[in-house]
Amino acid sequence: MTDATPPTDPYQAAPQPLSPSDERLWATLIHIGGIFFSFIPALVGYLVLKDRGAFIRAHTLTALNFQLTMLIAIIVGYILTIVLIGAILVLAAYVVIIIFAIIAAIAANKGEQYKYPLTIQFIK
């Protein structure tokens, strides 16, 4: 006797939406992770969690765009260290990352949307 039900593949199942508290938690962690690990937490969060809720998608997307913008600023700063102004640019970029990531994490933890200033929209 054969079973008429086809086997289900857990890898092809639609992702389950996150609860609002989980979305806030992950968004907060992704913003704070950007302080320590640059764009990596935002990229991984975007790729893994973007289909799990609108809130987490918006926060990972904005964090990824901001971190990529700051990465470009840091690279340009390191290149410009030849003319000594680059060190100031690199230091300013790190300070901006820390300040705005903390502000974004607080907004995410409150369940509010946040848009980083000084951000180029690489991914829409």
Q: For the beta carbon of residue 3, count every other beta carbon within 10 angstroms.
A: 6
Is the C-alpha dihedral spanning 117, 123, 97, 90 positive or negative? negative
Where exactly are the structural domains of the chain?
20-110
Q: pLDDT of 40-92, one tens digit each? A: 999 999 999 999 999 999 999 999 999 999 999 999 999 999 988 999 999 99
User: What are the φ and ψ backbone dihedral angles of 96, each rounded to 5 degrees?
Assistant: -60, -40
Cβ contacts of residue 100 below 8 Å, gap of 6+?
66, 116, 117, 118
